[in-house]
DNA sequence: TATGAATATGAGATATTCTCATGCTGGAAG
DNA sequence: CTTCCAGCATGAGAATATCTCATATTCATA
């Protein structure tokens, strides 16, 4: 019945004082407005305007519609502006999930920096330890997943952040501490401390132990990186962690790190996004600033070739 | 760009959870909704829905439009309901002007009674002493004019309220007080007290004195009927007033009334309305209740034949 | 009563929004 | 892994709706 178009017309007529002038402002013919009004009045069963006065006078019904127009049109227009910004990628939503336990360390500063540049983007962060983040990303519940485990999916693009080395943290007193590197078999008499997730999601198994069919003497879990570090420092076990997550402990000489294998185990950390979001300005910028911040902040990380 | 139709559609989709079900609720085909959405999304440059989930999921842009819909649609619908009532004459505006100074006496109770039955009708009352009420009625600034002077106009209908006699109020001591009636010449040695308006609008001139070319010895004016009555009672002059406006004074024997001419001067009081408003329910009812109330309240008034 | 500015109207062009028929897709079941 | 099914997309064309153009009508005014 009533449409936004009608509200726009009525408001223009009120401001202009005549159909003639209003038509000009709206870039249509006077005839168009006349027809439009006639049609609307016919369907309403009531006149909206008295045309024979100058300026035109609104009937009670007309005033009521005018009041609606004044109330509703600004909101509609504001929404349209917001949608334009959304479409242009100048604002939007960025729900991030991390699969990487240590990532809070650099992600929080990255989020803070981002928030300053894109205050209108709705930020959210969740840990993806208890659910599969990739389907959620594809479905749209998430907008970005920080992961080192790129599962091929044509709806998802993996933006590389940096390469890092997975190293073994050992206590200063550990016999392994002196080695330049260790072999998988060196862990068979050790207690391995891991995050409490399935083996398949732990790089130390998939990239180091499993290929050699090696198995640690025991496995215990710890939720948080500082807790793991403390346990290792106390000689209660060893743990495979990103080199950059251990910097503050090695710097204070609280523990030692040893390479896994002669060449080391290198991983790449990715920001996974839906392909359609790849070129969204704020997504791009988040990726770039995060990358930059990681290089500046984290020691021992490397650029990925071609990124 | 955005239209009410789109808001309705989005809200229906949200409630239904699918285009299929929403289409059914809106009594259109699923195809129509699909086309409509595609078109809108195309123009916005952004997706509103993710269709491949069940129920469908809204994108950030979709949620924004949905929020607009929830905010705007109820108001649009309420306005449409009000317009329907307006068109049906169940509500509206009743701006009344009176040309008749004494009419406040019965009009106020009439308005009070009316307000109870039609609380939604916007009532207003003004005195039409300083402007021409008929053009204002035709133009639409007024909706009803209470007058005893029906000026033929094809856009205006005169609804008769009652007939009354214009009588001469004189003091108890006046020599005229004993007469059954007076002639125009009897006033030539009297001071005539009138409302402060032009002669042409005073019935005592147009219907009694002017035809006989008679002229009072002096004319003085008084704004209000009680003031006029006091002056008359004090023997400071005579005044031509509706018989019903003098009842409370004659009952207390404060003054006397005398007929103007042998047959008396009879006038009809009308409620003038625009012809297109004639059959508006609340207009009709106002007329009828006012008429009824006048007969009950005012003594000495008569019905108009055929009303 | 003529005049001019504004609105109304009819006819036809144009644009839009629908329906119909049918193709496509993702998830569930075998 | 295929089949099926429910739901969405799409193309074509019908049905509407909305506009423009040309012109008539109306109203206030000189």
| Residue A59 within any structural domain of the chain | yes
pLDDT in tens, B165-187: 999 999 999 999 999 999 999 99
Kindly state whether residues A245 and A100 are assigned to the same domain.
Answer: no
- DSSP code of residue B303: P
**DSSP-derived 3-state class of residue B192:** strand
Q: Is 90 exceeded by the pLDDT of residue B149?
A: no
The answer to whether residues B73 and B118 belong to one domain is no
Task: Return the pLDDT at B290.
Answer: 94
Shared-domain flag, residues A289 and A253: no
Is position B304 within any domain?
Answer: no
Judgement on whether residues B283 and B146 belong to the same structural domain of the protein: yes
In the predicted structure, residue B101 carries a pLDDT above the cut 90: no
Instruction: Using DSSP, state whether B89 is helix, strand or coil.
Output: coil
Judge whether A76 is closer than 8 Å to chain B, CB to CB: yes
pLDDT digit string, tens, across residues B85-99? 888 888 988 999 998
- Residue A306 confidence class, pLDDT cut points 50, 70, 90: low
Judged by CB atoms closer than 8 Å, whether chains meet at A64 and B83 is answered as: yes
Task: Give the mean pLDDT of A213-224.
Answer: 93
Question: pLDDT digit string (tens) for A119-158?
Answer: 989 999 998 877 888 888 887 788 999 998 888 887 788 9
Least-confidence region, from A134-138, A166-170, B5-9:
A134-138
Question: Does B43 contact chain A (CB < 8 Å)?
Answer: no
Name the token pair of B300. 């000495």
Q: A250 to chain B nearest CA, in Å?
A: 44
B220-234 tens-digit pLDDT: 999 889 999 999 999
> Distance between CA atoms of A286 and A277, rounded to whole angstroms?
12
Three-class DSSP labels, A135-190: HHHHHCCCCEEEECCCCCCCCEEEEEEEEEEEEEEECCCCHHHHCCEECHHHHCCC
Q: For residue B3, is pLDDT > 70?
A: yes
State the Cα–Cα distance between residues A217 and B110, nearest whole angstrom.
100
Position A141 scores a pLDDT of 81
Q: Which residue is nearest to nucleotide D7 (CA to C1')?
A: B20
Instruction: State pLDDT tens for residues A22-51.
Output: 999 999 999 999 999 999 999 999 999 988
Cross-chain residue pair A65–B79, CB shorter than 8 Å: yes
- Which of chain A's residues have a Cβ under 8 Å away from the Cβ of B122? 60
Asked if the structure places residue A258 within a domain, the reply is yes
The CATH number linked to B43 is 1.10.10.10
Name the percent of chain B lying above pLDDT 90.
72
User: Is the domain of A54 the same as that of A197?
Assistant: no
Give tens-digit pLDDT for B250-292.
999 999 999 999 999 999 999 999 888 888 899 999 999 999 9
- pLDDT of A307 > 70? The answer is no
Q: Give chain A positions within 8 Å (CB) of B71.
A: 75
A29 touches strand D (CB under 7 A): yes
Residue B13 belongs to what domain range?
4-86
- Check residue B306 and give its pLDDT: 60
Quick one: pLDDT band at residue A55, thresholds 50, 70, 90? confident
**Contact B2/A4, CB-based, under 8 Å?**
yes
Residues A80 and A67 in one domain: yes
Give which of A296, A301, A304, A241 is closest to A110, Cα–Cα. A296
Interface probe for B, chosen from A10, A60, A142 (most Cβ of B below 10 Å), is A60
Residue B170 shares a structural domain with residue B260: yes
**Is B92 within 8 Å of chain A by CB?**
yes
Domain closes at, from B28, B52, B86: B86
In the predicted model, what is the mean pLDDT of chain A? 92
B139 vs A46, A53, A86: nearest CB: A53
Half-sphere exposure of B300 (CA within 13 A, CB side): 19
Q: Which residues of A touch B93 (CB under 8 A)?
A: 60
| Interval B153-175 mean pLDDT | 92
pLDDT in tens, A101-123: 889 889 999 999 999 999 989 99
Q: Answer whether any strand D atom is within 7 A of the Cβ of A3.
A: yes
Say whether pLDDT at B307 is over 60: no
Task: Say how far apart CA B108 and CA B246 lie, in whole Å.
Answer: 17
The model's pTM is 0.74
Closest nucleotide over all strands to A49 (CA to C1'): C7
Count up the domains in chain A and report the number: 3
* Of the partner residues B2, B4, B61, the one whose CB lies closest to the CB of residue A2: B4
| Contact check, Cβ <8 Å, B86/A57 | no
For residue B130, being part of any structural domain is answered with yes
Instruction: Tell me: do A79 and A12 sit in the same domain.
Output: yes
Mean pLDDT, chain B, integer? 91
Burial code (b: 16+ CB inside 10 Å, e: under 16) for A229-266 equals: bebbbeeebbbbbbbbbbbebbeeebbbbbbbeeeebe
Residues A21 and A43 in one domain: yes
Residue B303 lies in a domain: no
Of the pLDDT bands very low, low, confident and very high (cuts 50, 70, 90), residue A197 is confident
Same-domain check for residues A127 and A217: no
Please report whether residue B275 resides in a domain.
yes
Distance B220 CA to D10 C1' (A): 87
* Residue that finishes a domain, picked among B70, B86, B102: B86
Same domain, A277 and A154: yes
Is the same domain home to B16 and B106? no
In a domain? residue A303:
no
The CATH number of the domain holding residue B235 is 3.40.190.10
Residue A273 contacts residue A251 (beta carbons within 8 Å) = no
- pLDDT over 60 at A184, yes or no: yes
**Does the pLDDT at position B153 exceed 90?**
no
Tell me, what's the pLDDT at B89? 83
Q: What is the mean pLDDT of residues A163-178?
A: 94
- Angular region, A214: left φ>0, alpha ψ -120 to 50, beta rest: beta
Residue B104 falls within a domain, yes or no? yes
């Amino acid at each position: 019945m009533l449409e936004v178009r009608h509200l726009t017309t009525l408001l223009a007529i009120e401001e202009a004082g005549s159909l003639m002038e209003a038509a000009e402002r709206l870039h249509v013919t006077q005839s168009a407005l006349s027809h439009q009004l006639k049609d609307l009045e016919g369907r309403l069963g009531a006149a909206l305007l008295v045309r024979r006065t100058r300026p035109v006078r609104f009937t009670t019904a007309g005033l009521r519609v005018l009041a609606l127009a004044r109330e509703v049109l600004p909101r509609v227009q504001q929404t349209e502006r917001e949608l334009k910004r959304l479409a242009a990628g100048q604002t939007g939503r960025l729900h991030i999930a991390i699969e990487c336990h240590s990532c809070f360390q650099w992600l929080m500063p990255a989020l803070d920096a981002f928030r300053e540049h894109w205050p209108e983007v709705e930020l959210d962060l969740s840990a993806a330890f208890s659910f599969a983040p990739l389907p959620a990303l594809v479905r749209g519940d998430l907008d970005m997943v920080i992961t080192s485990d790129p599962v091929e999916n044509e709806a998802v693009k993996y933006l590389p952040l940096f390469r890092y080395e997975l190293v073994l943290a050992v206590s200063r007193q550990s016999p392994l501490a002196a080695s330049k590197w260790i072999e998988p078999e060196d862990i068979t008499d050790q207690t391995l401390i891991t995050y409490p997730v399935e083996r398949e999601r732990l790089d130390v198994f998939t990239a180091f132990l499993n290929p050699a069919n090696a198995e640690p003497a025991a496995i215990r879990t710890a939720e948080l990186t500082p807790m793991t570090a403390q346990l290792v420092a106390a000689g209660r076990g060893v743990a495979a962690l990103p080199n950059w997550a251990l910097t503050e402990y090695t710097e204070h000489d609280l523990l030692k790190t040893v390479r896994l294998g002669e060449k080391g185990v290198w991983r790449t950390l990715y920001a996974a996004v839906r392909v359609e979001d790849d070129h969204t300005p704020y997504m791009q910028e988040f990726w770039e600033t995060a990358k930059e911040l990681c290089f500046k902040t984290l020691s021992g990380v490397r650029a990925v070739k071609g990124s």
